[in-house]
Copies of this chain bind each other. A is one copy, B any other.
Amino acid sequence: MAERGTIASLPGAAGLREHLRIVEAVIFASAVPVDTSALATHLPAGTDLTRLIGELQSAYAGRGVNLVAVAGGWAFRTAEDLAPQLRREQSEPRKLSRAALETLAIIAYHQPATRAEIEEIRGVATAKGTLDVLLESGWVRMRGRRKSPGRPITYGTTAAFLDHFGLERIGDLPGLEELKGAGLLDTLPQAALAAPRDEPDLFDDEEPLGALGEEEAAPADEDVS
């Protein structure tokens, strides 16, 4: 490595070790993923965070706690394979109904998606309560409104969704490439290839929610399709 000499001549191994300790402590302290810009505020400008995180990640590889990239940041999580040993201590999280899980999957893979689009895919009206449960879980959010007749609300997933399912970004959804390749993420056959997008900014065909009307005052009865 060309940089080696440079690094060795920096404050030195002690400095590097100190930076490693800080990164470790900051991520460890937090229950939610910490992104690199937040980490950078604790370190001198110009610190090579990628290298520090790489070091830390390999230090924790194979341990009972791992450093993982999730929801656009870094977090310590118990090792997946220890689930059986840990589960007894923790109460099971609430199970999602089949309809809710299916709706969540459709929103995740097709976002931004309107209620009408979800119903078109499932071939059935969305039961009252299905979207509520997802909104309440914090995994789904109202993004804005589609610029189309009726200005229906568009739904998308949140950072909490990525965190919960251990995904670094929405592009890491399982089987995404396969589905995309088969054209199954399109709203209609022959439509342009689509990919799910969960960027916070609204897209060209979306507009802000605007003042909450009576329609969506409670997330339950928001069907504006």
Contacts of A121 in B (CB 8 A): none
Contacts of A59 in B (CB 8 A): 1, 3-4
A42 within 8 A of B: yes
Distance between Cα atoms of A1 and B24 in the complex (Å): 13
Counting every copy of the chain, the complex holds 2
Pick out which of these stretches binds chain B: A78-86, A103-111, A144-152, A185-193: A78-86
Tell me whether A85 and B24 are in contact (CB under 8 A): no
A21 contact from B7, B64, B89, Cβ within 8 A: B64
Closest chain-B Cβ to A47's Cβ sits at a distance in Å of 12
A22 contact from B4, B24, B76, B82, Cβ within 8 A: B82
Tell me whether A25 and B82 are in contact (CB under 8 A): yes
How many A residues touch B, CB cutoff 8 Å?
A: 33
Distance between Cα atoms of A197 and B42 in the complex (Å): 39
Closest chain-B Cβ to A3's Cβ sits at a distance in Å of 7
Contacts of A86 in B (CB 8 A): 22, 25-26, 29, 42
A-B contact pairs, 25 of them (CB 8 A): A1-B58, A1-B59, A3-B59, A4-B58, A4-B63, A7-B63, A21-B62, A21-B82, A22-B85, A23-B64, A24-B64, A24-B65, A25-B64, A25-B65, A25-B78, A25-B86, A26-B86, A26-B89, A28-B65, A28-B78, A29-B78, A29-B90, A41-B89, A42-B85, A42-B86
**Closest CB pairs A-B (n = 3):** A24-B64, A21-B64, A25-B64
